Amino acid sequence: MPLLLLALTVTASAVAAAGSLPVTMEKIMSNPEWLGIPPENPYWADDGRAVYFERKRPGEEINDLYRL
DSSP 67: E
Give the distance between the most distant pair of CA atoms in the chain: 68
| pTM, two decimal places | 0.50
Helix H or strand E encompassing 8: helix 2-18
Q: What is the pLDDT of residues 13-46, one digit of tens each?
A: 655 555 677 888 888 778 766 778 889 999 999 9
**From residue 11, how far is each of 21, 22, 48, 58 by CA, in Å?**
18, 19, 58, 38
- Give Cα 5 distance to the centre of its chain: 33
Residue 60 predicted with pLDDT over 60: yes
Taking the CB of residue 51, how many other CB atoms lie within 10 A of it?
13
Parse the chain into domains and list their residue ranges: 2-67
